[in-house]
Amino acid sequence: MRFLLGLILGSLLTIGGAYVSDQREDPANAHPMVNWDVVSQKLDVLTADLKQKWDEFTRQMTGPP
């Protein structure tokens, strides 16, 4: 359990650190570590895929509506 919590906390700290670092950059000569627009698009695709898979799973378990 500690290992799993450590992985989650470490991931959140890494992403949070990259975000804070990118936000502190001067916009005139910014070289961000992360392209947050691309991250947002990929996260949207991931959530749509997960929703579709969940709907298929629940349909298989409960039968057609």
In degrees, rounded to 5, the angle at the alpha carbon of residue 33 between the alpha carbons of residues 27 and 39 is 100
Q: Provide the pLDDT for residue 27.
A: 73
Of 12 and 64, the one with more pLDDT: 12
The pTM score is 0.55
First-residue to last-residue Cα distance in the chain? 38
Q: Which domain holds residue 9?
A: 2-62
Number of domains making up the chain: 1
Q: Is the pLDDT of residue 31 over 80?
A: no
Mean pLDDT calculated for residue range 16-44 = 82
Percentage of the chain lying above the pLDDT 70 cut: 94
DSSP sequence for the chain? -HHHHHHHHHHHHHHHHHHHHHHTS-GGG---SS-HHHHHHHHHHHHHHHHHHHHHHHHHHH---
